[in-house]
Amino acid sequence: MTDQSPSRSLDKIIIRLPDGLKERIRRVAEKNDRSVNAELLVLLEKTYPSETIIDEYVRDIADLVKSYPDDQQKELWRSIVDRIKSFSQETS
């Protein structure tokens, strides 16, 4: 009997975990009433959001900047870009 589950056609990845990490993930997943796989997917989605979500955030930021007086918008954009650069350097 073959498994015809739709999940069989999804991308797969194998990772090596340091001793004890799988158990820590399992405990958190259990607390959140999720499988280990589902828990990892939640964490990965938070870390690597889809471009659609990022586009929505950028659109929200642009709308917020537009709500400021014209003379403040340039400085606000500069501040936003500086923050993005700072976060980018932290994750590199």
Domain boundaries along the sequence of the chain? 19-48, 51-91
- In the Cβ-directed half-sphere of 37, how many Cα atoms lie within 13 Å? 6
DSSP state of 10: S
Asked whether the beta carbons of 65 and 76 are under 8 A apart, the reply is: yes
Output the CA torsion sign for 34, 35, 36, 38. negative
Give pLDDT, residue 3.
62
Give pLDDT, residue 48.
87
pLDDT band at 7 (very low <50, low <70, confident <90, very high): confident
Query: If you write DSSP's letter for every residue of 44-65 in order, what string do you get?
Result: HHHHS--HHHHHHHHHHHHHHH
The 10s digit of each residue's pLDDT in 60-77 is 999 999 999 999 999 999
Residue type, 32: N
